[in-house]
Amino acid sequence: MQSAPLPETLANLLGLDPNSTAVMIVLSLVGAGLIGTLMMTNTALAGPWAKRKITAAFTDRIAVDRIGPYGLFIIVADAVRLLSKELIVPEGADRPAWDLAPLIIASTALLGFAVIPMGNGIHLADPEVGLAYVFAVASTTSIGLVMAGYASNNKYSFLGGLRAVAQNLAYEIPLILTGASVVIFAGSLQMSEIVAAQQQSLIGPLPSWYAFVNPFAFVLFMIANLAEVGRNPFDIPEAPTEIVAGYQTEYSSVYFVLIYLGEFIHIFLGGAIIATIFLGGPAGPVLPGIVWFLIKIWGVFLFTQWARSAVPRVRIDQLIEIGWKGMLVLSLANLLLTAVIVGVTV
């Protein structure tokens, strides 16, 4: 399923020359702004409002319902409240690293959406190593977490940063190995090719999404993704009952907003990867592709919120043991089994 990237689509709509370097640079920036705005809008809706509503529904409580219809204006209220707070810099902080950490956390997740096909022509680029690029960009978020923890000059923050490193090392390897099993099925790292390989019918009306072709890999990836985005039972780096708030303890005002947004953007990036490699990307009947894509990533977000409300947090030693002794072994077994099946059947 090959389609023109968004900058080229915009050039054709506006009657501009798609072969002009200057035109493509400008339209690439415009396209990046449009996709970034779409993801930031989803994040703004999910963070202050949807998270509270979903958690309240799971725990039989009443969430925000006083500020605007259905409490939607809590988004504006939270933005004003947080951005109007004083930015307090801890004494002894490593200022360059402390300032850069929130920017790295927020920006690296946004960069991953550049190669995600969200619908016909709604992607910035479609490189042959698209999936590898997404994994590489997503993994750099841990650099920001370590910088935030180390630079804050706070033992709780530093402990949260160390836990983030340990968690990412333990779960990124199973995440990538499970993604590699999809690459074996599709025969390509290119995101559009992975989506195209899922367009046929598996059995009757059931599509050949890799979530149906290999449900074991889908479950492994969903669990590893929970650890990657720091949701229960794997929210160890910011466990409030143990280390206050971990790597973000000393942050306030706009820096806290950037970290908070980065956390939820990363959740939606994880949902976008799952939707692309396991759920057919933007594929779906009747509705436009972009609508189906948003439905799927919100479905993954709903799952992470269910885990946040229903699954108790594990201890740090249990988390490491699950990652290295459980997830790694199962993901390797899945990869080898997939290779054998594809090798025999093809």
Give the pLDDT confidence of 151-178 residue by residue, as tens digits.
888 888 888 888 888 888 888 899 999 9
**Res 131: pLDDT:** 92
Mean of pLDDT values over 323-342: 91
Instruction: Label residue 287 by pLDDT band (50, 70, 90).
Output: confident
pLDDT at 187 over 50: yes
**Res 1: pLDDT:** 47
Mean of pLDDT values over 267-272: 91
Asked whether residue 75 is domain-assigned, the answer is yes
Residue 57, judged by CB atoms within 10 A of its CB (0-12, 13-18, 19+), counts as middle
**Using an 8 Å Cβ cutoff, are 210 and 182 in contact?**
yes
Q: For residue 75, which of 64, 84, 86, 85 has the smallest C-alpha distance?
A: 64
Mean of pLDDT values over 48-64: 84
Containing domain of residue 17, as a range?
Answer: 6-345
DSSP 37-73: HHHHHHHHHIIIIIHHHHHHHHTT-----SSSGGGTT
pLDDT at 346 over 70: no
Q: pTM above the 0.95 mark?
A: no
For the segment 256-269, what is each residue's pLDDT rounded down to a tens digit?
Answer: 888 888 888 889 99
Residue 86, judged by CB atoms within 10 A of its CB (0-12, 13-18, 19+), counts as exposed
Cβ neighbour number for residue 321 with a 10 Å cutoff: 14
CA distance 249 to 243: 9
The torsion angles phi and psi of 209, rounded to 5 degrees, stand at -65, 145
Q: Indicate the number of domains in the chain.
A: 1
Asked whether residue 158 is domain-assigned, the answer is yes
Asked whether residue 1 is domain-assigned, the answer is no
**Res 63: pLDDT:** 81
For the segment 113-147, what is each residue's pLDDT rounded down to a tens digit?
Answer: 988 988 877 888 888 888 999 999 888 888 888 88
**Res 208: pLDDT:** 87
Q: What is the pLDDT of the chain when averaged over all its residues? A: 86
